[in-house]
Structure 1
Amino acid sequence: MTTNANRNEGDIVVIGGGVVGAAVALGLARSGARVIVLDEGDVAFRASRGNFALVWVQSKGLGMPEYALWTRRSAQDWHGLAAILREEAGIDVVHSQPGGFVPCLSEAELEKRTTAMRRLHNQEGLADFPYEVLGRTETKRRLPDIGKDVVGALYSPLDGHVNSLKLFRALREASARHGVDYRPNHAAEAIEPRDDGFRVRGAWGEIAAAKVVLAAGLGNARLAPMVGLDAPVKPSKGQIIVTEKTAPFLHHPMGTIRQTDEGGVMIGDSQEDRGFDTIVGQPVISVMAERAVRTFPRLAGLNVVRTWSALRVMSPDGFPIYEQSEKHPGAFVVTCHSGVTLAANHVLTLAPAILAGELPAAVASFSARRFHVPVHA
C-alpha cells in the first residue's frame, strides 16, 4: 500500500462508476482498502442506466458452464448482499427470488427454448440447476393474466430481481460510509504503469495508486491495452419501455417483462448491433410493446411514461472478462453485461481477491486469453 498521505493518492483506483465499478469499489473498501472511483459521469455510455434489474440464472452459460455456476453463486449470495446494503446504506433494494418465467408465444418458440435449456443443463456440473417446462394450462394457473397466445413457459426458481435505482444508490451510499472517494466527471484518459503502481491522468489532473481496476464498461476496450490487458468489448443496444403504475399482477420476473415493486411495468427485449447509437427507435419499441401485450393483454390499457435505450457491454462470446495483467501486476479488468446479477460476486468474492492480488479460481475461464487460442482443424 502506498504511504503517500495526499488525498489524491489511494491504494486502488477504480475506473468506472456504474453498477460494476460501484460494486467492486464497495467490496474493496469493505476489505480495508482506500479506494478512489473515477467516474466519467452521465455523458458516459453507461450500461447501468438501462439495466433491467434482474438477478437472472436460467438460460445463462450455454457454451461456458463456468458462467452458469458463477451466475448461480451470485444469485445465492444476493440475499447476503441485500442484507449488507440494508445495514450499511440504510436502503432496502427490494431483492426477492420468487423464480422467473420465460413465456412463449408459439410451439416452435417453446421447443426452441426447451432445446436450448436442455443443452445448457447437459453440460458438466449443471445437473442440479432446477427448471420446469410448463404447458399452457400450468402457465395459466401460475400466471392468471397471460393472453391466449401464450402456449407455455419455462420456469426456474433461481431467478429474482431488485429495484435498480435503489441498488445504485445503496452501493454509492454504502461505499461512502466506508470512505470511498467518489469523483464524478473524472474521465480517465491515460494510465501509466510505474514500478510502484500506476498513474492515471485526465483533464482534471493525475492520481497515483498501487492498483487499478478497469470497470469502465465500453471504455475498457481503450484503457486495457495501456496496462497490458485486452478487453475486446462492443456495444449491444437495448431499448426499454416503462408504463404507468398499476395494481400488482406480476409477482415473478421475466426476461423481458417485469413489474417493479413500485407498480410500473418494464418491457425490454431488444438486442441491436447499432454501434454507439442510443436513439430510441419507434419500430423496435412497437414490436416490443406488441409482444408484451400478447403476453399480458391488460398492458394495452396502460400509458407509457418513458422509453429509453442504453448500450450493453458485450464481449465476443457474451461472457465476462476478469483478468490481472501479467505485464503489469496490480492492473485488473472487470467487465460483463450482467452487472446487477453479478453484483454479489463482485462485492463479496471478486473485490477481496483483487485486493489480495490474485483472482479466484472460479473466474479463471473468463480471461481474455480465451479469444486468442489457436483454432485447430
Structure 2
Amino acid sequence: MSQYDVVICGGGVIGGSVAYALSRNKDLKIALVDYKNPGNASRASAGGLWAMGESTGLGCGVILFKTLSKQLQEGADVSQAEGMKPHIMPKPFFDLAMMSNAMYPALNQELLEKHGVDMKFEKTGLKFVLFDQYDRIYAEHIASAVPDRQQHIRWLDRDTLLSEEPNISRDAIGAMEFDTDHQINPYRLNDAYVEAARQNGVDLYLNTKVTGIERQGNRVTAVQTSRGKLSCGMIVNAGGSWAEQISLWATGMQMPVFPVKGQVLVSEKLPKILNGCITTSDCYIAQKDNGEILIGSTTEERGYDTSTDLTLLKQLAQGAMKSIPQLRDMNIKRCWAGLRPGSPDELPILGPMPGIEGYMNACGHFRTGMLTSAITGKLLNELVRGEPTSVDITPFLYDRFLNESGDMVGEYHLEASL
C-alpha cells in the first residue's frame, strides 16, 4: 500500500494536464493511474485547438445543416428555416475555451525548455470553407452571434482563399477564418503532460485499472487498482468516457458522462498541401507536422462501440475530396473510432461533489479535451490546493444537474463499464 496526497484516475490529456499542473511545485505526492480502454479519446483526436470553432459549432466538422439547405431549396423562408441558428456554446464555455487556448504558446515553450517534450504546436488558423449561398448564410449567422469576437474573424473571398490554400477546390466561393484556432499533435500533447509530470516526481501506474474506491464516512480515502491499494487524501476523476464508474464507486452518485463516438480517417504521409486547418459542412481536414492528413469526424451515440462504419467513412472521404481534389489520389493509412466523454449540456464537469470530501471531477469534456486541458489543469490545481479559481466554475459544477431535492434532473443514456 502506498500513501499519496492526490491520486488521479485517468491518464488521458485531462488527467495528464492535472498531474502536470499539480506537480509543478513538487510539494505533493501524486499518483497517476491509467488504463487505455478501447476508444480512448486522447488517442483519437485531431489535435485541434479550435476555441472559436468549437464554441460556434464548426470545430468538429459535423455541421450537418443539409436539412436546412433542402428546406431553402424547397422555398422555405430563410428567417423561418429550422436549423438556421448556429450551435453557439454558452458564454462561460466560450470564455473558458478562449482562456485555455491563449495558454498554449507559453505552455509549449515551458514543456520544451524545462522538460524536453514537444507537443508540435502550430499556428494554423481554422478556415470554414464556403461552397454555396447556404454555407455563406450559415457563416454570417455565426459571425453575428459573436459580436464581441469580431477581431478574430477574417473573411476571405475566393481569390484570397485560393492564394492562401492553392489546393482547395476551385468550386469554393470563399471562407470565414478564425485566426485564434491552431493545432497540436494529440499524441504528443498527452505524452508531454505525462512525461513532464513524471519528471516532476509523479508516480505513474500505467496499464493499471482502477478497480474500486474506498471511503470512510463521506471522505474518499483510497483507490483500489489492479496493482494494489493507493491511500490518498484526494482523488481526481479524469476517467473520460468511463468517469461514471469512478463516480459511483467514490460517491454513490451517477455521473452524466457518456461515450460519443467519432470516426476518423488518416492518410499516408503527403507533401504539404494545407497551410492551415479547414472545416466544411461535411468534415474537417488537418494536416499534421509529419504530413499525415486527418479527416473527421462523425458524432454518434452508440455506447462503447468502437467499430468503424465503411459508409460513414466514405462520406468523410468524399467530403474531403470535394474540398481538396488532390486527396482523390491519397492512400488511407488507418481509420478508427474514438469515444468522446459527452455530457448532457456539452460542458465539462469540474470540481467537487456535494457532500463528498477528498474528491474532484475533471471529466465530461466531450470533443474539447485537447483545447481545454490547459485551463482544466490550472483550475484543478487551484481547487485541490483550496485557492480561488482563475475562472468561476459554477457553470461547470456537478450541482447543475440536481434539483432542489438533490435528485438528478432529466435522463441520459449510459453504459458505464471498466
Q: TM-score over 0.5 for the alignment? A: yes
Q: Distance in 1 between matches of 2:239 and 2:160?
A: 43
Q: In structure 2, what is the equivalent of residue 157 of structure 1?
A: 179
Q: Which moved more, 1:188-197 or 1:15-24?
A: 188-197
Deviation at 1:373, TM superposition (A): 5.2
Residues 367 and 87 (structure 1 numbering): CA distance in 2 closer, same or farther, change over 3 Å?
same
SS in 2 for 1:328: coil
Q: Of residues 62, 65, 89 in structure 1, which corresponds to 2:91?
A: 65
Q: Distance in 2 between matches of 1:105 and 1:234?
A: 34
Q: In structure 1, what is the equivalent of residue 166 of structure 2?
A: 144
Residues 43 and 130 (structure 1 numbering): CA distance in 2 closer, same or farther, change over 3 Å?
closer
What RMSD in Å do the two structures reach over aligned CA positions?
Answer: 2.1
Partner deviation per Cα, 1:293-327 (whole Å, 9 max, x = no partner): 11011111111111111111110111111121231
Instruction: Check whether the contact 2:119–2:188 (CA below 8 A) recurs between aligned residues.
Output: yes
Q: Distance in 2 between matches of 1:178 and 1:37?
A: 12
Instruction: Check whether the contact 2:354–2:399 (CA below 8 A) recurs between aligned residues.
Output: no
Instruction: Check whether the contact 1:230–1:368 (CA below 8 A) recurs between aligned residues.
Output: no
- Confirm or deny that 1:33 pairs with 2:59: no
Equivalent position amino acid for 1:141 in 2:
S
Deviation at 1:197, TM superposition (A): 4.7
Q: Which moved more, 1:364-373 or 1:167-176?
A: 364-373
- Confirm or deny that 1:18 pairs with 2:47: no
Q: In structure 2, what is the equivalent of residue 204 of structure 1?
A: 227
Equivalent position amino acid for 2:29 in 1:
R
Q: Which moved more, 1:293-302 or 1:324-333?
A: 324-333
Q: Of residues 294, 312, 323 in structure 2, which corresponds to 1:266?
A: 294
Q: Which moved more, 1:178-187 or 1:201-210?
A: 201-210
Q: How does 1:99-138 map to 2 (within 5 A)?
A: 99-119=125-145, 121-122=146-147, 126-127=148-149, 130-138=152-160
Instruction: Check whether the contact 1:322–1:366 (CA below 8 A) recurs between aligned residues.
Output: yes
Q: In structure 1, what is the equivalent of residue 329 of structure 2?
A: 301
Instruction: Check whether the contact 2:351–2:360 (CA below 8 A) recurs between aligned residues.
Output: yes
Instruction: Check whether the contact 1:15–1:188 (CA below 8 A) recurs between aligned residues.
Output: yes
- Confirm or deny that 1:86 pairs with 2:86: no
Deviation at 1:44, TM superposition (A): 4.6
Q: Distance in 2 between matches of 1:369 and 1:197?
A: 19
- Give the TM-score, by structure 1 length: 0.90
Partner deviation per Cα, 1:316-355 (whole Å, 9 max, x = no partner): 11111112123123310101122211122133x2232133
Equivalent position amino acid for 1:173 in 2:
E
Q: Of residues 321, 325, 344 in structure 1, which corresponds to 2:349?
A: 321
Q: Distance in 2 between matches of 1:112 and 1:373?
A: 36
- Confirm or deny that 1:357 pairs with 2:394: no
Q: In structure 2, what is the equivalent of residue 232 of structure 1?
A: 256
Sequence identity percentage? 25
SS in 2 for 1:74: helix
Residues 44 and 69 (structure 1 numbering): CA distance in 2 closer, same or farther, change over 3 Å?
same
Q: Which moved more, 1:306-315 or 1:104-113?
A: 104-113
SS in 2 for 1:189: strand
SS in 1 for 2:52: coil
Deviation at 1:46, TM superposition (A): 1.1
Q: Which moved more, 1:358-367 or 1:174-183?
A: 358-367
Instruction: Check whether the contact 1:211–1:331 (CA below 8 A) recurs between aligned residues.
Output: yes
Deviation at 1:283, TM superposition (A): 0.4
Structure 2 gaps of 5+ residues are: 56-87, 410-418
Q: In structure 2, what is the equivalent of residue 3 of structure 1?
A: none
Equivalent position amino acid for 1:276 in 2:
Y
Deviation at 1:247, TM superposition (A): 1.4
- Confirm or deny that 1:182 pairs with 2:197: no
Q: In structure 1, what is the equivalent of residue 188 of structure 2?
A: 166
Deviation at 1:79, TM superposition (A): 0.7
Residues 330 and 44 (structure 1 numbering): CA distance in 2 closer, same or farther, change over 3 Å?
farther
Deviation at 1:131, TM superposition (A): 1.0
Equivalent position amino acid for 1:34 in 2:
K
Q: Distance in 2 between matches of 1:278 and 1:60?
A: 23
SS in 2 for 1:270: coil
Q: Distance in 2 between matches of 1:214 and 1:29?
A: 17
Equivalent position amino acid for 1:110 in 2:
R
Equivalent position amino acid for 2:164 in 1:
R
Equivalent position amino acid for 1:306 in 2:
R
Deviation at 1:358, TM superposition (A): 5.0
Equivalent position amino acid for 2:323 in 1:
T
Deviation at 1:98, TM superposition (A): 3.1
Residues 265 and 44 (structure 1 numbering): CA distance in 2 closer, same or farther, change over 3 Å?
closer
Equivalent position amino acid for 2:105 in 1:
H
Instruction: Check whether the contact 2:267–2:293 (CA below 8 A) recurs between aligned residues.
Output: yes
SS in 2 for 1:21: helix
Equivalent position amino acid for 1:247 in 2:
P
Q: Runs in 1 of length 4+ with deviation above 3 angstroms?
A: 126-129, 225-230, 372-375
- Give the TM-score, by structure 2 length: 0.81
Residues 270 and 207 (structure 1 numbering): CA distance in 2 closer, same or farther, change over 3 Å?
same
Q: Distance in 2 between matches of 1:340 and 1:359?
A: 24
Partner deviation per Cα, 1:10-55 (whole Å, 9 max, x = no partner): 1100000111111111111113321101112x33541111011111
Q: In structure 1, what is the equivalent of residue 66 of structure 2?
A: none
Q: In structure 1, what is the equivalent of residue 41 of structure 2?
A: 47
Q: Distance in 2 between matches of 1:359 and 1:366?
A: 15
Q: In structure 1, what is the equivalent of residue 307 of structure 2?
A: 279
SS in 2 for 1:198: strand
Equivalent position amino acid for 1:274 in 2:
R
- Aligned residues between the structures: 363
Residues 284 and 143 (structure 1 numbering): CA distance in 2 closer, same or farther, change over 3 Å?
same
Instruction: Check whether the contact 1:213–1:333 (CA below 8 A) recurs between aligned residues.
Output: yes
Q: In structure 1, what is the equivalent of residue 58 of structure 2?
A: none
Partner deviation per Cα, 1:165-211 (whole Å, 9 max, x = no partner): 22222222211110111102322222122367521113433111111
